[in-house]
DNA sequence: CTCGTGTATTATGATATTTTTATATTCAGC
DNA sequence: GCTGAATATAAAAATATCATAATACACGAG
């Protein structure tokens, strides 16, 4: 990966690196959802959700399709769902390390 | 994933979501490196690298081993290297979409 | 046309991240 | 004990992100 690609990749990752946005991706893995369904299910305000969806859309992580007065959101790239598996494993290890301070971080 | 896990996962992703930190992970995929080797290879200041390494270490993405006056960094979790494959594919698609504005984002 | 529902935008303050500069620490070799 | 190389920390300014509140827009039903 060259430097310029790393800049773009960092932006894509940054778009995922937020609890609500991760939640959106996770929920959409199960299939399309309305904006209202998303903010209801994830427990945030409508405004908040609208802004987060825009960020995800910008990085082409989700696509948005208009149908009448509503918008349906879906995943653009199911490939990234692998990340949740990695993350689950990592969280187990991470919490494990945290307990035992088995890592050479000084805190 | 429950809400609390998503908070932690977001922090881990945030730690990866930076050009230099992505670079570090990519370089370390090839094997251990000294701090000096890292900031030389990635073209940033020593201070910058030290701070970025701390962030990666905090999230247990890398481990740091002291040997004399130097420190050797290595990957904690090669599992996340999958991410680079996903990302490569995504960048191809992303740039493609960008050209054709084939996504329903309104900008 | 107007009303209600679904969604987007804007503004704002609080907080966090980024980057640089300067200084400190640590340790091996002499 | 000094010196120099490797690394860490602190402080500060610029910028970005987060979250909320208020308002605007779009559109179908009646």
How close B64 comes to chain A (CA, Å)? 6
DSSP string, chain B: --HHHHHHHHHHHHHH-SHHHHHHHHHHTTS-EEHHHHHHHHT--HHHHHHHHHHHHHTTSEEEEEETTEEEEEES-GGGGHHHHHHHHHHHHHHHHHHHT-S----
Q: What is the pLDDT of residue B100?
A: 45
Helix axes A82-100 and B82-100, enclosed angle (nearest 10): 140
Q: What is the pLDDT of residues A1-42, one digit of tens each?
A: 999 999 999 999 999 999 999 999 999 999 999 999 999 999
Asked whether the beta carbons of residue B64 and residue A105 sit closer than 8 angstroms, the reply is yes
Q: What is the pLDDT of residue A16?
A: 98
CATH architecture, domain A3-77: Orthogonal Bundle (1.10)
Does strand C come within 7 Å of the CB of A54?
Answer: yes
Asked whether the beta carbons of residue B86 and residue A94 sit closer than 8 angstroms, the reply is no
The Cα–Cα gap between A7 and B59 comes to 21
How close B45 comes to chain A (CA, Å)? 16
Task: Name the strands in the sheet holding B70-75, side by side, starting at the edge strand that comes first in the sequence.
Answer: B33-34, B70-75, B62-67
Q: Residues with Cβ < 8 Å from B19, sequence gap 6 or more?
A: A3, A6, A7, A9, A10
Work out whether strand A62-67 and strand B33-34 pair parallel, antiparallel, or are unpaired. unpaired
Is B53 in contact with B64 (CB distance < 8 Å)?
yes
Domain ranges, ordered by start, for chain B: 3-77
How close A84 comes to chain B (CA, Å)? 9
CA angle A71, A76, A77 (to 5 degrees): 155
Q: What is the pLDDT of residue A102?
A: 45
If pLDDT is split at 50, 70 and 90, which confidence band does A54 have?
Answer: very high
Whether the model pTM is above 0.85:
yes
For an interface test with B, give the residue of A2, A6, A71, A93 to mutate (most B CBs within 10 A). Answer: A6
Asked whether the beta carbons of residue A26 and residue B1 sit closer than 8 angstroms, the reply is yes
Percent pLDDT > 90 in chain A is 84
Q: What is the pLDDT of residue B97?
A: 62
Q: What is the pLDDT of residue A93?
A: 81
The mean pLDDT values, 10 residues at a time, for chain B of 107 residues are 94 97 97 97 96 96 94 95 94 68 52
Q: What is the pLDDT of residues A62-93, one digit of tens each?
A: 999 999 899 999 999 999 999 999 999 999 88
User: Among residues B1, B29, B37, B17, which one has the least CA distance to residue A10?
Assistant: B17
A71: three-class secondary structure by DSSP: strand
Asked whether the beta carbons of residue A13 and residue B9 sit closer than 8 angstroms, the reply is no
């Amino acid at each position: 990966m060259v430097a310029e690609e790393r800049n773009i990749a960092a932006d894509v990752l940054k778009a995922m690196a937020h609890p609500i946005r991760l939640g959106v991706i996770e929920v959409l893995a199960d299939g399309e959802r309305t904006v209202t369904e998303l903010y209801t299910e994830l427990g945030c305000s409508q405004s908040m959700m609208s802004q987060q969806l825009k960020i995800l859309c910008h990085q082409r992580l989700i696509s948005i399709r208009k149908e009448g007065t509503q918008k349906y959101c879906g995943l653009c790239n199911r490939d990234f769902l692998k990340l949740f598996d990695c993350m689950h494993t990592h969280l187990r290890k991470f919490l494990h390390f945290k307990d035992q301070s088995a890592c050479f971080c000084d805190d």
